[in-house]
Structure 1
Amino acid sequence: MSDLDPAAPGARSAPEAPVVSGRESGRIAFAAFVGTALEWYDYFLFGTAAALVFNRLYFTTLDPTAATLAAFATFGVGFVARPIGAVLFGWMGDRIGRRPALLLTVVAIGAATGLIGLLPDFAAIGVAAPLLLALLRLVQGVAVGGEWGGAVTLAVEHAPPDKRGRYAALPQIGSPVGTLLSSGAFALVLLMPSEQFDSWGWRLPFLAAFPLLLVAVYIRRKVEESPIFEELEKREERSKVPAVDVFRQAWGRLLVAVASALLGVGGFYVMTTFAISYGADTLGVSRSLMVNSTLVAAVVQIGVIVVAGRFAERLGPGRMTLWGGLATAAVAFPVFWLIDTTVPALVVVAVAAGVGILSIAYAVSGALLTELFPAHLRYSGVALAYNIAGALSGFLPFIATALMDGAGGASWVASLLLAGVALITAAGGFYGERLRVRDDVVVR
C-alpha cells in the first residue's frame, strides 16, 4: 500500500508550528456547523422530493416503479458529480485557501436549490423538465463535493489536537439538522391538500433556499482562514495539483478513507430516502409517517454524534468507526423487519435506531479522515474520499429498489446492502486508526 511520510513535506520544530487557540476553535467549528447545516438542508430536500414528488411530476410517462427508479437515478446524479466538486474545490482549498472555497460552495448549492423550486414540471415543458432537474442536481452535487471536506478541515485545523473529536463532530451535526429542516419543511407542506401540494406546495421548501443562502454567506464570511494553511502558504509547501498527488502519493490512505466514510453516506440514504419510498410505495404506510420518522431519527442522530465525538478523543476515531460499522451490520435485518410490520410506532423506532447506530461511524468521519491526510493534501484528500464514497453509495436507493422489485418486494435486499456497507466501513476504521497523521501545532 502506497503511503506518505506523516511529516512530509518538511518537518517543523515546535516554535515554528502553527498556533491554534482553544478559545477560537469552538467558534470556528460552530460557524462551520451552521453553514454545513444550511447546505445539507438544500441537498436533502432533493432526496425527500425524489421519493414523494419527482417520480410523479417529472417522470409521468413511466409506470410507477420505473418513475421511482428514474427519480432515484436523478438523485444519484448528485453523488456522481460530487467527486468533480472534490477535485475543483479541493484544488482551491489546498492552493488558495479553505475559506474562499467554502464561500463558493454555499453560493452554488443555494442557487441551484432555489431554482429547482422555480422549475416547471413535465406537464408544462415536457422532457426539458427532467433534463433541467438533472442539471440542477448536478450543480448541487459539485457544490456539496467541496463543502463537507472543507468544513471539517477548517474545524479540525483550528482545534487543539486533543479536542479534535468534539470539534470535528460539530459539522457532522449539520447533517441531522439539515434533515430536520428539510423533513420538517416537507412535513408542513404535506399537510396541504394533495392538489395544492402537487401544484405549488412542494416548491416552498426549495424556494426557502434563497433567504437561507444569504444567512449562509454572511456566516461563511465571518470564518477565519486555517492557521495550518497559512503556515503552508508562508512556506510554499502547497501541492500544485492536490488531487493528482492524493492518487499518486496517498492512494492507500484514500482507499481506507473511502471505506470508512461509506456507511455514513450510503447507509444513511438506505435508512432515509429508500426507507421513505419503501414504506410509502411498497408497504402503503402514510408518507407523513415516513417523513416524520426521519425527524425523530435526526434528533437521535444529534445525540449520538455529540457523544461519539467525545468518545473518539479517548478511544480514537478509527476504533469508533470499527465498532459503529459492526453494530450497524448487526441491526441491518431487524430494523427492516420492524418497518415491515407497518405498525407506526415500530416504524419510527426502526428508522431512528438504524440512523442512530450508523451515526456512530458517521460522527467520527471528520476526525478520522482529516487525520488520514497531511495538511498540504488534506482538503482534497478528505473531499475526494468522502465524495467517492458518496458516488459509490449514492445509487443504493436505486439498487435496492430495483433488486427488491425483482425479489417480489422483500426487504432482505435492503438489509443485505446495509450490512455489506457497514462491514466495509468497519474494515476502514480498523486500518484508519493505524494511519492517523498528527499535526505539529502549538496550542495557545
Structure 2
Amino acid sequence: MSTPTAAAAALPIDERVTKRVAIGALVGTALEWYDFFLFTTASAVVFNVQYFATKDAILAGIFSFATLAIGFIVRPVGGLVFGALGDKVGRKKILMITIVGIGVVTGLIGVLPNYAAIGIAAPILLILLRIVQGLAVGGEWSGAMIIAVENAPLHKRGRYAAMPQLGSPFGTILSSGGFALLGALVTKESFDAWGWRIPFLLAIPLLAVSLWIRTKLSESPEFEALMEQGETEHAPIRGVLKNSWKQIIVGMAATLLGVGGFYLVTTFVVFYGTTVLHLDRTLMLVAPLIAAVFEIPILIGGGRFAERFGASKVVIFGGVASALLAFPVFLAVQSKSPVLVVIGITVGVCALSIPYAVSGAALTALFPTRTRFTGVAISANLAGLLSGFIPLIATATLAATANSWVPSAWLLVGIALFTALAGVVLPSLSIKQAGVKA
C-alpha cells in the first residue's frame, strides 16, 4: 500500500478546481472572521455597556471579555466533533453545517434585546449564542483550510494555504469598517441604541452568498481516495491523540501568535485606547481596519515564502519579529498620537501575520490525511482557547497595575517567542512531502 504522501502526489489535480475551492474556502472564512470579529469588536465597545450593568468600566470590560472567552473555551469541543465527522464523512458536508451555524447566530445577536429591556436574560442569551458560535467556528477554519490544501498541487500548497487566511483581514475590514462607518454617520446615542446591530444583521445576506458558493465546492481528492479504498479512520479522535499528541502541541504553539497576538493587538488595544487613554472610538476602530489592508500582502507573500524557504523558517522569523516589536507597538499607542496609534497597531498586526500566513500549511503538514481534520481542528482550537483569555488577562492586569500597559507588552513577547520555538520544532514532526519544505 502506498504512503499518504505518495498517494497524494499521484492524484490528478486540476488547478481550475483548486482555485475555485480556494475561493470558496476564502469566502467562508471571511464570513467566519467577519462574524467573530464583530463579536470581539462589540466586546470592546458595545457589550460592556449594553449587556453588563455596572458603573465600573474595567469590571464591565472584564465581564464582556469573559463572554468573548467562552466562545474560545467551547471551540475545542466543536473542533473535536466536527473534526471527527470531517474525517469520517468528508470536508465539504461539515463546511456547509458550520457556516450556517456561524451566520445564523450572528444575525440573532443583531436582534437580541439588551439588559435594559429584559434584564439578566440578556447576558445569559448572549452567552448561549456565543457558545453556539464557538462550536461552529471550531470546525469551520480547519475544514476550509484542509479542503483548500488537499485540492492543491503539493508544490503550491503554501500559496493556497494562505488563501483562507485572507479571510481574517477581509473579515476585519468588513466588521471594523462597518462599525467605524456607523460611528461616523450616526451619533453615539444612536450607535449605542441601534446602530451597532446593523453589521450583525448583515451576516444573513452574507451567509446566503457563502452558502451558494460552497455548494459548488469539490470534495478533497485525497479524502475521496480514502473513501474508495475503505481506509478512513473509524476513531479519528483516539487515533490522533494516541499517535500525534506531539504534533498537536507544536501545531497549537505555531498558531498561537497569529490568533492570540491578534486579539491582544486589536481587541484589547481598542478597549485600552477607548477606556483608559480616552482616545476617540472611531480612531480605535479605524486603526485595525488600516492594519488589515496592509495584512493582505503579508499573508500572500508569506504563502510564497513558505514554498521557497519552508513554513518553519517563516514561523520563526515572524515570532522573533513580533517579540522585538512588542514594546514599540504599545509605546506608539501610549503616545495618544492618532498617527502613531495607527502605525503601532498596523506594525503589530503585520508582524504577527507573518507566522499566521503559513500556519495552515504548517498544521496540515503535521497530520496524515485520515486524521488531518481532527488533528488540525484540535491544534488550532487549543490555540483559540488560550487566545480567548488573552484580552481578559490583559484587562485584568490593568486593574492590578494602575492601568499600566507594560504587562500586556510582555505578554505579547511571551506569545511571540512561544510561536518561534514551535517553528524550530516543526521540521522534525512534519510529514515529508515531495516539493514541500517544512
Is 1:262 equivalent to 2:256 in the alignment? yes
Give the C-alpha shift of residue 16 in structure 1: 9.3
Instruction: Work out the CA distance in 1 between the residues paired with 2:39 and 2:196.
Output: 11
Give the C-alpha shift of residue 62 in structure 1: 5.1
> In the alignment, what sits opposite 2:425?
431
Q: How does 1:53-132 map to 2 (within 5 A)?
A: 53-61=46-54, 63-132=56-125
Give the C-alpha shift of residue 64 in structure 1: 1.2
Q: Secondary structure at the match of 1:433?
A: helix
> In the alignment, what sits opposite 1:350?
344
Is 1:145 equivalent to 2:130 in the alignment? no
Counterpart amino acid of residue 422 in structure 2 = G
> In the alignment, what sits opposite 2:219?
225
> In the alignment, what sits opposite 1:274?
268
> In the alignment, what sits opposite 1:200?
194
Q: Percent identity?
A: 50
> In the alignment, what sits opposite 1:250?
244
> In the alignment, what sits opposite 1:312?
306
Report the TM-score, using the length of structure 2 for normalisation: 0.96
> In the alignment, what sits opposite 2:35?
42
Residues 254 and 235 of structure 1, relative CA distance in 2, 3 Å threshold:
same
> In the alignment, what sits opposite 2:177?
184
> Do 1:81 and 1:141's aligned partners in 2 also have CA atoms closer than 8 Å?
yes
> Do 1:253 and 1:372's aligned partners in 2 also have CA atoms closer than 8 Å?
yes
Counterpart amino acid of residue 166 in structure 1 = R
> In the alignment, what sits opposite 2:147?
154
Counterpart amino acid of residue 227 in structure 2 = E
Q: How does 1:273-422 map to 2 (within 5 A)?
A: 273-422=267-416
For residues 357-389 of structure 1, give each alpha carbon's deviation from its aligned partner in whole angstroms, at most 9, with x where no partner exists: 000000000100000101001111111101100
Give the C-alpha shift of residue 404 in structure 1: 2.1
Counterpart amino acid of residue 434 in structure 1 = S
Q: Secondary structure at the match of 2:332?
A: helix
Give the C-alpha shift of residue 19 in structure 1: 2.3
> Do 2:8 and 2:222's aligned partners in 1 also have CA atoms closer than 8 Å?
no
Counterpart amino acid of residue 180 in structure 1 = I
Instruction: Work out the CA distance in 2 between the residues paired with 1:299 and 1:226.
Output: 31
Instruction: Work out the CA distance in 1 between the residues paired with 2:391 and 2:182.
Output: 24
Give the C-alpha shift of residue 222 in structure 1: 0.7
For residues 265-296 of structure 1, give each alpha carbon's deviation from its aligned partner in whole angstroms, at most 9, with x where no partner exists: 10000011001000110111111001100011
Instruction: Work out the CA distance in 2 between the residues paired with 1:112 and 1:257.
Output: 29
Residues 11 and 105 of structure 1, relative CA distance in 2, 3 Å threshold:
closer
For residues 420-443 of structure 1, give each alpha carbon's deviation from its aligned partner in whole angstroms, at most 9, with x where no partner exists: 0011100111111222214589xx
Instruction: Work out the CA distance in 2 between the residues paired with 1:330 and 1:297.
Output: 18
Instruction: Work out the CA distance in 2 between the residues paired with 1:15 and 1:229.
Output: 10
Counterpart amino acid of residue 29 in structure 2 = T
> In the alignment, what sits opposite 1:4?
none
Counterpart amino acid of residue 411 in structure 1 = W
Instruction: Work out the CA distance in 1 between the residues paired with 2:10 and 2:125.
Output: 49
> Do 2:115 and 2:121's aligned partners in 1 also have CA atoms closer than 8 Å?
yes
> In the alignment, what sits opposite 2:44?
51
Counterpart amino acid of residue 112 in structure 1 = V
> Do 2:5 and 2:433's aligned partners in 1 also have CA atoms closer than 8 Å?
no
Counterpart amino acid of residue 248 in structure 1 = K
Residues 331 and 371 of structure 1, relative CA distance in 2, 3 Å threshold:
same
> Do 2:17 and 2:218's aligned partners in 1 also have CA atoms closer than 8 Å?
no
> In the alignment, what sits opposite 2:235?
241
Instruction: Work out the CA distance in 2 between the residues paired with 1:419 and 1:311.
Output: 24
Instruction: Work out the CA distance in 1 between the residues paired with 2:128 and 2:38.
Output: 16
Counterpart amino acid of residue 321 in structure 2 = A
Instruction: Work out the CA distance in 2 between the residues paired with 1:116 and 1:389.
Output: 25
Is 1:33 equivalent to 2:23 in the alignment? no
Give the C-alpha shift of residue 12 in structure 1: 7.8
Instruction: Work out the CA distance in 2 between the residues paired with 1:413 and 1:50.
Output: 21
Instruction: Work out the CA distance in 2 between the residues paired with 1:196 and 1:319.
Output: 49
> In the alignment, what sits opposite 1:166?
159
For residues 12-36 of structure 1, give each alpha carbon's deviation from its aligned partner in whole angstroms, at most 9, with x where no partner exists: 8669943222332122111111111
